[in-house]
Structure 1
Amino acid sequence: MNEHDIISRLKVKNLDVNSALKLKFKLRTAVNFVKIGYVSTNYSLDCRADATFRLKSLTETKVLETASSNLNCLKRILAWNVEHGILFFRISSNTIPFASHPKNTTNWRDELRDLLKEIGSYVRNNGIRVSMHPGQYTVINSERREIIEASIKELEYHADLLDLMGESRGIFRYTLEAGPVGRKGVSRGS
């Protein structure tokens, strides 16, 4: 639908041209503000951006190969999304397998820096909004110290991944949600 069609349709509704143009501007602004998207997996492509493997198979080579494959698929997904007018996408927490696990000592930040920078540049150049969502076991308000420490490492991984894509330019925003923890004397939801 072009501008002429919109104005013609609005005139049918007894709006004058100035009112029609104002409404058209509001509609265009609303459409540009709202970005519809989806989470992690594009079933139209023959790749996955969240492939992983068993912890017992963890090696530096396995991490880098799987992460590189995931990031190359992410590039394909983002290009497909742009072609189809989808400008919001949630990146999988599994993009870098076992990124925050203590057994993973792979220097993925340095090894994948250029690829992440390339993806970040594509995101910026195409006005895509991306996000990440830590998994259900990321509980920073846990009563158990080891859970809190693992949660912090997981959040640092998410921040590092987005930073390497270009957060320093203010493209990405972080949102941290924390809910109440159940314990004696404190009910859930309080």
Structure 2
Amino acid sequence: MIVRFGYVAMSTVIKDCSPSKTMTMASFTKLNDREAGLRKLESIAKMNLHNTLRLLKHNVGSDIEVYRMTSKLVPLGTHPDLQDWDPFAALAGEFAEVGDYVKKHGLRVSFHPDHFTVLSTPRPEVLASSVRDLQHHTDMLMAMGLPATAKNNIHIGGAYGDKPVAAARFKEHFAALPAELQERITLENDDKTFNALETLEVSRSLGLPMVLDIHHQWVNNEGELPWEIWPEIQQTWKSPLALKDVQAGEHLPPKIHVSSPRSPSDPRSHADGVEPAPLLAFLKRIAADTPAVDVMIEAKLKDGALFDLMAALKELAEAGNGITILDGASINVEP
């Protein structure tokens, strides 16, 4: 089984390369010239996209083919007081440059809209904000010229005192989304509310690919082991929505998230790095029936955690643990 590792947004190795520089609305409103303020926001966004391209080049140089982009590329891009501002015309060249690089090198990129994007909400104003945020993320991917294989990963959201009703509301709100938003969504289990089994049920009913977070599953489950439900999760990656824009004869590998608990007293928070043993235990259990899987590392050290994990895996490979190092960010795992 081929396993590719990726990381989230920021680099702790490349200095002065933040793709998430921003401006607060308070600072924006203090500016006397609104048009000058909008040009300033566009200038910040151009720097964020420039730094994203720098990170992608760093990734390619390090054999990293999986990367989650920051949602903060365009500062204040979804603020309700700036809905008359369309930044994409001014940023067309920068977005296209990032997208061209992604396509040239066959990278797998994604977004993860924040926890305020909740389709299970009963509040119309929150729903409108959530749809606006999903549209913004989709607009960024489309500005990059990326196919629907570039996804927006979200959680189901809150239970609001009645989890079955909230799940049904999520399905209803999802069904009302434009097709261009639907085809880019993946659904992930969370660490407090909708567990892996509940998320799988919603994913299957909507034909959505499911991202299994094995850390979340560890702290929020119904007694199932993660590899026991993996065959059904893997099947969600064969749905029409999952396969949209996938080339004939090719496949989009399932994706999982991995992180390690910060401490026994704080099991939900993420540690600086990733402990290899629990991850390998899972990978070995699924290797026989899974040709390939992509692993998003959600650790505080970002790409530094990826490099540390690869160093640890190299030692294990040399000791003969059914692991083969393929390059700087991928391995082969034998059952």
TM-score (norm 1): 0.75
Give every structure 1 segment of 4 or more consecutive aligned residues whose post-TM-superposition deviation is greater than 6 Å: none
Shift of 1:174: 4.4
Q: What's the C-alpha RMSD, in Å, of the aligned pairs?
A: 2.1
Pairing 1:67-78 to 2, within 5 Å after superposition: 67-78=45-56
Pairing 1:146-161 to 2, within 5 Å after superposition: 146-161=125-140
Shift of 1:178: 2.0
Q: Whose helix proportion is higher, 1 or 2? A: 1
* 1:85 matched to 2:55: no
Distance 1:174 1:61 in 2: 27
Shift of 1:98: 1.5
Shift of 1:102: 1.4
Distance 1:176 1:41 in 2: 19
Describe the shift of the 1:82–1:184 C-alpha distance in structure 2 as closer, same or farther (beyond 3 A).
Answer: closer
Aligned pair count reads 158
Shift of 1:149: 0.5
Structure 2 contact 68–111 (Cα < 8 Å) conserved:
yes
Describe the shift of the 1:121–1:56 C-alpha distance in structure 2 as closer, same or farther (beyond 3 A).
Answer: same
Residue of structure 2 in register with 1:96 after alignment: 74
Structure 2 contact 22–44 (Cα < 8 Å) conserved:
yes
* 1:57 matched to 2:27: yes
Unaligned stretches of 5+ in structure 1?
Answer: 1-29
Describe the shift of the 1:54–1:126 C-alpha distance in structure 2 as closer, same or farther (beyond 3 A).
Answer: same
Structure of greater relative contact order (alpha carbons < 8 Å, 6+ residues apart) = 2
Distance 1:132 1:181 in 2: 23
Percentage of matched positions with identical amino acids = 28
1:134-185 alpha-carbon deviations (Å, 9 max, x no partner): 0011112211111100000000000000011113x45524455424532368
Larger Cα-atom Rg: 1
Shift of 1:106: 2.8
* 1:66 matched to 2:36: no
Structure 1 contact 124–171 (Cα < 8 Å) conserved:
no
Shift of 1:101: 1.1
